[in-house]
Amino acid sequence: MELGSNFVFFIGIVEDRGDPLMLGRVKVRCLNVHTFNKGDLPTEMLPWATPLQNITSAASATIGSAPVGLIVGSIVVGFFMDSEEKQMPIILGSLAGIPGGVPVNFSLSPGGKPNTSALLSDIPYPARGVQDYDNNFLETEPNSKFSEGAVYPYNQCLKTEAGHLIEWDNTPSKERVQIRHASGAYIQMDPAGNIVIKSVANLNILSANNRVDFVGANNTVIVKGALFIAVDNDIQIASDTSILLKAPRIDFKNS
């Protein structure tokens, strides 16, 4: 039979993602195709299934997106290019579900927000307006706005295995963008356009050439430890009103 002349579609469960060729391939046990008795058909005997990439990914010459988002246990849908032999599976996408089924007490609130206490969905919590990370800001820090205000289905988000998170929250009047590291460090833009950048460890900003910081109003710098400034050339400080230096002791050295 000519290759691709008669597609056979499948739904299956990912059992292995350790592709030796590092092409994003996974081994899938397909419903009504493979037995679920691993004694009769072990995982290593399953054919490698290749994920289909979006046209926004070049998928060539190391350029494009890495198709490595699937994990063991992901449910995928695709087709066999060789419909009879079923040794050339192509994955079209993945399917989210509710492990264990929909609880009988599941309901939607008037605003369309799901009763998340009764819903154990595969969809990331922040997409459902449930914050599953610590705010971790101090009282002296800006009070950031996090995903507990999001309403399904407006919060588009991407969460990784390690716990890294990107949110594009389109909830009306609560629009936010957040890039969050699993450590708790984050960058967030809130509905008013305020930007908060937080590092839970060191923060290094490097510029190979000039740097200009423009502040349209007041600028406050609070340092809990010591402040050290080293400059190779001249230092110029200018004020249109006054300059105030206040300390228990001020020392001046020529060198």
Of 3.30.2450.30, 2.60.120.560, 2.40.50.260, 3.40.190.10, which CATH number belongs to 8-95? 2.40.50.260
pLDDT attached to residue 3: 60
- Identify any residues that bridge with 27 across adjacent strands, giving them in sequence order: 16, 48
Reported residue count of the chain is 255
DSSP β-ladder status, 26-30 and 8-16:
antiparallel
Task: Quote the tokens at residue 11.
Answer: 């739904």
Measured CA to CA, the distance from residue 19 to residue 55 in angstroms comes to 22
Task: Kindly report, residue by residue over 117-142, the tens digit of the pLDDT.
Answer: 556 789 998 998 888 887 766 666 66
Task: Quote the tokens at residue 199.
Answer: 């590092």
pLDDT attached to residue 121: 83
Give the number of other CB atoms < 10 A from CB of residue 250: 7
Question: How does residue 60 score in pLDDT terms, banded at 50, 70 and 90?
Answer: very high
Helices (H), the chain: none
Measured CA to CA, the distance from residue 246 to residue 250 in angstroms comes to 8
pLDDT attached to residue 253: 84
| 11 sits in which H/E element | strand 8-16
pLDDT attached to residue 188: 92
Domain 126-198: give its CATH architecture: Roll (3.10)
For residue 114, give the DSSP letter: B
Give the CA distances from residue 174 to residues 137, 150, 151, 158, in Å, rounded to whole numbers and listed in that order. Answer: 20, 7, 9, 18
Residue by residue, DSSP assigns 39-100 as TTS-GGGSPEEEEPPPTTS--BTTBS-------TT-EEEEEESSTTT---EEEEEEE---TT
Question: Residue 56, Cα to own-chain centre: how many angstroms?
Answer: 18
Task: Kindly report, residue by residue over 175-223, the tens digit of the pLDDT.
Answer: 999 999 999 999 999 999 999 898 989 999 999 999 999 999 999 998 9
62-82 mean pLDDT:
95
The domains of the chain are located at: 8-95, 126-198
Measured CA to CA, the distance from residue 12 to residue 72 in angstroms comes to 11
pLDDT at 12 over 90: yes
pLDDT attached to residue 145: 75
Q: Which residues contact 6 (CB under 8 A, 6 or more apart)?
A: 83
Task: Kindly report, residue by residue over 220-251, the tens digit of the pLDDT.
Answer: 998 989 999 999 999 999 999 999 999 999 99
pLDDT at 106 over 80: no
Task: Quote the tokens at residue 210.
Answer: 């000039």
Give the CA distances from residue 160 to residues 27, 86, 169, 227, 230, in Å, rounded to whole numbers and listed in that order. Answer: 20, 31, 17, 37, 40
Amino acid at 83: S
